[in-house]
Amino acid sequence: MVVNSVHWFRKGLRLHDNPALQEALNGADTVRCVYILDPWFAGSANVGINRWRFLLESLEDLDSSLRKLYSRLFVVRGQPANVFPSLFKWNVTRLTFEYDSEPYGKERDGAIIKMAQEFGVETIVRNSHTLYNLDRIVEMNNGSPPLTFKRFQALVNRLELPMKPLPTITQEQMGSCRTKIADNHDEHYSVPSLEELVQNMIDTPSNRAWCVRGLQLLLNASKTKCMLFNRSLPAPARPTSITTLDGSDLEYVDNYKYLGVWLDCKLSFQTHIKHLQSKIKSRICFLFRNKASFTHAAKLVFEELLLDADWSVNAGSWMWLSCSAFFQQFFHCYCPVGFGKRTDPSGDYIRRYIPKLKDYPNRYIYEPWRAPESVQKAANCIVGVDYPKPMINHAEGSRLNIERMKQVYQQLSHYKGLSDTSPGLFYGSREPPSGKKTCFSVYIG
């Protein structure tokens, strides 16, 4: 029986340690390596321009690696559900890909597996994005995810050790199932340039919402009073709901400078700032455990700007930092100044990624607003002119919001039928450190 394999690349854009790709090669007569650029995902996901550039560069690198094995990467554009019926016309008998545990991925993959069965195509899915099979962990925990790290450790200790990394695919492996590459391959299946990808998005009416991010604005109290938006924008999507622990608003943020978040068409803007303020009040009210901030909006910013943003890690980290789920020691805070000084005393990271501050001495690199005027002039960076002034007093914001979180936990104790509202109930038998400047701030934008 002839075995024609298609390996569907998604996150694991590599030839080493790729179990699903190894399965595609085993006993195959032909193998095609495919990546699907999904316009629906591009239009709906919170993906910034740097992440797109990083993805395209990674695809170029993968294609280059495959060329050395006398193969190529087939980049196909479209939604997977629409693409695979055409790909199966290559007389495909086997489809392999890496397991995706995220909600969108599970729904997509379920539909593709069902479709493959209808076409008589064998589907092989292998776990390699995570060390352990997440579904197996949930199954061992009676169908529910473990809620503590201790419970998670107890479960994984009962599992077999993760497989050792597989070696890189060799020419011998690929040569035994080499697929002929057409002379016009680049015309149909090449990796697009960033400019080409953006232009295609603009030319497709249903995808213009993705391109609207070029119109995003950052509110500033002293400069932004009125905003104008392209009237040809598509109808806004249903806004994401943001709720508090008890369903009420914990705080309104009235100072425009505190917004610190990119704004796009999904918030149904009007041209006047006062109307915009009232709109935002009804949608974005969330208490961050150290300062009043938009935790959900910060999560979206991370999704957009981090090159290696991971949906699960990002969501879990923000639930942790906001003390809104499994972590309750809200008095344990991180000071962005103190943390930076401890981990990178010379400020090399800041000097590279915030070049405006590169000439500041180590003493002031994490607090440029404290530098004397002479130091600021010598560094060619005047705070308030070349670099923004602080939007919030971290120590004061930390103190204020620790107190607010304490009040919330006290309210929750009544909901749970608990009468003990002593500090030990919330602080694990001890008060938060007194007199210590504890703070955490996320610079959004």
The binding site for FAD comprises: 308-310
Q: What are the start-end ranges of the H helices in 228-353?
A: 273-281, 295-305, 311-321, 336-343, 348-353
List Cα–Cα distances, 317 to 148, 243, 296, in angstroms.
14, 18, 11
Closest by CA to 200, choosing from 75, 304, 77, 35, is: 77
Q: What is the 3 state secondary structure string of 76-130?
A: EECCHHHHHHHHHHHCCCEEEEECCCCHHHHHHHHHHHHHHHHCCCEEEEECCCC
Q: To which residue do tokens 């002034």 refer?
A: 389
Distance CA 347, CA 435 (A): 27
Q: Are 212 and 222 in contact (CB under 8 A)?
A: no
Token pair in block for residue 377? 């002039």
Closest by CA to 89, choosing from 183, 6, 151, is: 6
Give the strands of the sheet with 122-126, arranged side by side.
Answer: 73-77, 30-37, 4-9, 94-98, 122-126
Distance CA 220, CA 260 (A): 8
Bridge partner list, 68? none
If DSSP codes are grouped into helix, strand and coil, which group holds residue 95?
A: strand
Annotated binding-site positions: 308-310
H or E element that contains 7: strand 4-9
Distance CA 147, CA 145 (A): 6
Q: Are 366 and 347 in contact (CB under 8 A)?
A: yes
If DSSP codes are grouped into helix, strand and coil, which group holds residue 262?
A: strand
The DSSP-derived string for 190-217 is: PPPPHHHHHHHHHHSGGGHHHHGGGG-E
Start-to-end CA distance of the chain, whole Å, equals: 57
